[in-house]
Amino acid sequence: MQQKIVISGGPGSGKTTVINQLRELNYNCINEVSRQIILDAQKKGTEQLFLKDPLLFSKMLLIERERQYIEASETKHNLVFFDRGIPDIIAYMEFKQTKISELYDKSCIQNRYSTVFLMPPWEEIYLSDNERYESYEESMTIYKFIKKTYIKYNYQFIEVPFGTVKMRTQFILNSLVIK
């Protein structure tokens, strides 16, 4: 039985670095799509699509994350790691106090993940860049919304402790029950 595993957390907490490490270990990993959506919007002249039009950004993100979920389901891989999950969209919308349609709720209910790992904000490694506009303080607030959202959808999550990339990756692998 396939396990769909989400690695989530606030911006700049090391999620993508761990996903890249898992990929180097030959695990099937699904990339975060928000950066590509942001870059595509910037090419069209919109600096921060999420800030300018959170509903459009969230709709585009939902379409892509659902596509990734379906594509992962069609593979023969036993373990699939996702850099963020569909509930993250709701968490960000709540952070920005944006009205959330039933469409997002339905998607969270229909597209369930096996295991959720949350990576808390870590000031020592936090960096902002062209696509990550949030401050470290905002990252902490977003993390609270992410935790709240996964709880809302009846997920029990595992918090990943601070440590080297190798230690964090090994913690995740050791925490999984291989079915």
pLDDT of residue 37: 86
Whether 75 maps to a domain, the answer reads yes
Structure tokens at 20: 């890249």
Whether 105 maps to a domain, the answer reads yes
**Average pLDDT for the chain:** 89
Residue 99 pLDDT > 90, yes or no?
no
Domain enclosing residue 95, as ranges: 3-174
Residue 40 pLDDT > 90, yes or no?
no
Report DSSP letters for 107-149, one per residue.
HHHHS--SEEEEE---TTT----SS----HHHHHHHHHHHHHH
DSSP letter, residue 102: H
Whether 78 maps to a domain, the answer reads yes
Whether 137 maps to a domain, the answer reads yes
Give residue-wise pLDDT tens across range 109-168: 999 999 999 999 877 775 665 555 677 788 899 999 999 999 999 999 999 999 999 999
In this prediction, residues 1-26 reach a mean pLDDT of 93
Whether 136 maps to a domain, the answer reads yes
Cβ contact 158:115 at 8 Å: yes
Side chain identity at 34, as an amino acid letter? S
**The CATH number of the domain where 41 resides is what?**
3.40.50.300
Whether 113 maps to a domain, the answer reads yes
Structure tokens at 122: 């870590």
CA distance 151 to 147: 6
Whether 179 maps to a domain, the answer reads no
pLDDT of residue 98: 85
Cβ contact 86:69 at 8 Å: yes
pLDDT of residue 142: 92
Whether 30 maps to a domain, the answer reads yes
Residue 6 pLDDT > 60, yes or no?
yes
Which is more confident, 49 or 172?
172
DSSP letter, residue 84: S
Q: What is the three-class DSSP state of 150?
A: helix
Q: How many domains does the chain have?
A: 1
158: enclosing H helix or E strand: strand 157-159
Give residue-wise pLDDT tens across range 51-61: 778 888 899 89
pLDDT of residue 179: 45
Which is more confident, 38 or 87?
87
